[in-house]
Amino acid sequence: MINVTKTFLPPQTEYQSILKYAWDTGWITNRGVLVRELEGKLRDYLKVPDVLLMTNGTLPLQIAIKALGLKREIITTPFSYVATTSSIIWEGCTPVFVDIHPEYLTIDETKIEAAITSKTSAILATHVFGNPCDVEAIEAIAIKYNLKVIYDAAHCFGVTYRGQSIFNYGDASTCSFHATKLFHTGEGGALFCKSDQFDKMYWHHNFGHDGQESFHGLGINAKMSELQAAMGLAVLPYLSHVLESRKTVIDAYNEALYGLDIQLLGLRKHTEWNNSYYPIIFKNESQLLAVKNALNQANIFPRRYFYPSLNTVKYINGKSMPISERIASRALCLPLYSGLSNANIERIITIVKKELCW
C-alpha cells in the first residue's frame, strides 16, 4: 500500500537512547530537559528568536487567538485544513472568508480589504502547502486597519521567504509536528510570536501558572511531553536526508508531468520551499476522480487536500467562494515521502499519465 504520506522514523535505538534520560530522571512531562533542548535546537535550525512547543498543531492556533485578545470577526481562507476555521469558532469568533489566489492557492490579498468591517479583529491566513501568502501586502493592510495577523504555517517547517524563516512574519505563526509532516514529534506543534507576546503565550499554554501557587490568568494544558520531544530530537539530524529524498520525488513528478493539461502549484517568488506536498489541479472533478480511482485500484492512495472548501462545511455555513470551491473540487495530492522508491514513483506516474491521456 502506498499512502499519500508515510511517517519518517529514525532508528529505534536512537530514539530509545534519547528517551532513556527521561526514564532515568522520571521526568516525563511539565517541560522537562528534552522539551527545552528541542526548543533550543529548533531556534538554531530555524533561525527564530523563540519557539514554544505544544502537544499538537491546533492548540497554538487557539492560544494565539486567545492571547492576542481577538473578538468577533477574523478574516480567513476557505482553502485550508478544518483546524484553521474550527479554531476561530472554538474561541468564540466568527470566520469571514476571503477567496484564494488561483495560482498560489493562498488567501487573495487583493480581496481582504473589502471584507473588513468594524467587527474585524484579525487576519488568520494559511501558507498553503508551504507556499507563503503575500505577507507584505497583508502586513500593510493590518497596519492600516489596526488588525492582528496570525499565520497557519502548519506545512512550513524549514520554509524561508526573502531569506528569513516564514515563522518570523505576523504577530504569531503556528506549525504542526504531526507524524505526517516532514519534521515531526509523533504528534505536536509549535507557536512562534513577537517577543512582547511570548510570555503571555507561554502561560496560556501552561494553565496560566505563575509559579506553583499563583496564576497570571486563564490557561490550558498544551505542553509537549518528553516522549514527543525525544522523537523530535531523533528526527532532526535526518532533516537534510528527508528534504533531499522528497525533492527527488518532486523532480521526478515534475519531469514526467510537465506539459500535461493540469495545473501545478505556483510558488511565490523569493521562497525557499520545503517540498512538503505535491498537489495536482485537474481540469475538472471527473478527471480527478478517474485518476484517484485508477490509483486506488493499484493500492495507491492520494488525498483530496484540501477538500471540501471550508465555506461549504455545514456548521460553518459560509458565503460562496468560487475559486476555492473550484480548486478544492479538482486538487489531488500525490504520494510524497522519504523512501518512496523509484519503481513506485514510476507506477504512480504511469497511471496518472494513462488516465490523463486516455
The per-residue pLDDT for range 181-199, each reduced to its tens digit, is 999 999 999 999 998 899 9
Is the dihedral angle over the CA atoms 257, 258, 263, 264 positive or is it negative? Answer: positive
Instruction: Give the integer Cα–Cα distance in Å for 274 and 46.
Output: 12
Taking residues 299-319, what's their average pLDDT?
A: 95
The per-residue pLDDT for range 231-243, each reduced to its tens digit, is 999 999 999 999 9
Pick from 71, 97, 94: nearest CA to 308: 97
Which stretch of 112-126, 131-145, 204-218, 335-349 has the lowest confidence by average pLDDT?
204-218
* Domain ranges within the chain, ordered by starting residue: 2-237, 239-356
Q: Are 351 and 295 in contact (CB under 8 A)?
A: yes
Taking residues 265-276, what's their average pLDDT?
A: 97
Neighbours of 314 (CB within 10 A): 5
Residue 66, C-alpha cell as written in the block = 486567545
Look at residue 317 in the predicted model and tell me its pLDDT.
82
Look at residue 330 in the predicted model and tell me its pLDDT.
98
The per-residue pLDDT for range 242-252, each reduced to its tens digit, is 999 999 999 99
Is residue 96 predicted with pLDDT exceeding 90? yes
The per-residue pLDDT for range 143-167, each reduced to its tens digit, is 999 999 999 999 999 999 999 999 9
Instruction: Give the integer Cα–Cα distance in Å for 196 and 326.
Output: 40
Neighbours of 185 (CB within 10 A): 30
Q: What is the pTM of this model?
A: 0.96
Is residue 358 predicted with pLDDT exceeding 80? no
Taking residues 72-96, what's their average pLDDT?
A: 98
- Residue 190 identity (one-letter amino acid): A
Strands 73-76, 148-152: pairing is: unpaired
Is 239-356 CATH 3.90.1150.10?
Answer: yes
Taking residues 63-71, what's their average pLDDT?
A: 97
Neighbours of 302 (CB within 10 A): 23
Mean confidence (pLDDT) of the chain: 97
Residue 107, C-alpha cell as written in the block = 488567501
Taking residues 47-60, what's their average pLDDT?
A: 97
- Beta strands (DSSP E) in the chain are 2-3, 52-54, 73-76, 94-97, 120-126, 148-152, 160-161, 164-165, 172-176, 189-193, 263-264, 271-272, 279-281, 300-301, 331-333
Look at residue 357 in the predicted model and tell me its pLDDT.
86
| Residue-wise burial string across 199-210, b where 16 or more C-beta atoms lie within 10 A, e elsewhere | ebbbbbbbeeee
Taking residues 40-61, what's their average pLDDT?
A: 97
Residue 120, C-alpha cell as written in the block = 474585524
pLDDT-derived band at 27, boundaries 50, 70, 90: very high
Query: What's the CATH number for 2-237?
Result: 3.40.640.10
